[in-house]
Amino acid sequence: MSSVEKQKNRCEINWNFVSSDVPGRSSTKCFHRFVHLNRRKSSNRFEKTEDQLLIDEHRKQKGRWAQIQQMFPERSSYSLQNRWRKLNQNRQLNIFFSQLNSNFQKFLFKCFPNSTIDRGNSSSDEKSLYESPRIGLTLIQLKLLTSNSLLIDYSNQIENEEKFLFPIGIRQFLNHLKNVRQIDEIRNYFSSQRKKRK
């Protein structure tokens, strides 16, 4: 790092000079180590402005990651691709969720909340489609829940039964749901989970 600092007034860093200051390391190794150290310094968390720029650039460049990466000098193309996948998953989940009936949406909000998001954000524009969903579910989990007609019927019945609505574990619930044949079994499950937590 100190060797690179010596060359801060140059247009480009001469990695051969850097490697001469670091015995036993080639110029390529020094370059890769410097990039790695700088990435560790910079935050891995994407800001909202970065997300929006990534969405816009992906649309313009049609997925050409070499060009997109030039707009993010401190990010690797791999980290950008991973972030894009996450944003796209959010979009698919939000679109699918918005197509559900309102009672089922309320049920999901209450039972499977996403605890890491800002609750104040409830806009419905194009940008908000890419934001973290208000439910703590994956698209596959949501599709599994919506494929169960008993659960949808149950969510329509419990509008005034707040006592049955509280956060539960999704994996355990999905495993239980495979064997459910009647709405009463779902009601009993929620009731038993509530008693366990008290």
Stretch 146-162: mean pLDDT = 83
pLDDT value at residue 9 = 77
Identify residue 177 by its one-letter amino acid code: L
Strand, coil or helix: 167 = coil
pLDDT at 5 over 60: yes
Q: What percent of the chain has pLDDT over 90?
A: 34
Q: Please give the distance of CA 66 from its chain centroid, rounded to a whole number.
A: 23
Q: Is the pLDDT of residue 119 over 90?
A: no
Q: How far apart are CA 59 and CA 86, in angstroms?
A: 16
Cα angle 45-131-126, degrees, rounded to a multiple of 5: 135
Of the candidates 97, 98, 65, which has an alpha carbon nearest to the alpha carbon of residue 83?
A: 65
Nearest to 57 by CA among 69, 39, 44, 45: 69
| Non-local CB neighbours of 150 within 8 Å, separated by 6+ positions | 180, 181, 182, 183, 186
- The span from the CA of 63 to the CA of 21, in Å, is 40
**Whole-model pTM above 0.95?**
no
Give the other-Cβ count within 10 Å of 58's Cβ: 18
CA–CA distance, 54 with 71 (Å, rounded to integer): 9
For residues 9 and 85, the model is more confident at 85
Query: With 90 as the cut, is the pLDDT of residue 182 above it?
Result: yes
- The answer to whether 76 and 39 have CB atoms below 8 angstroms apart is yes
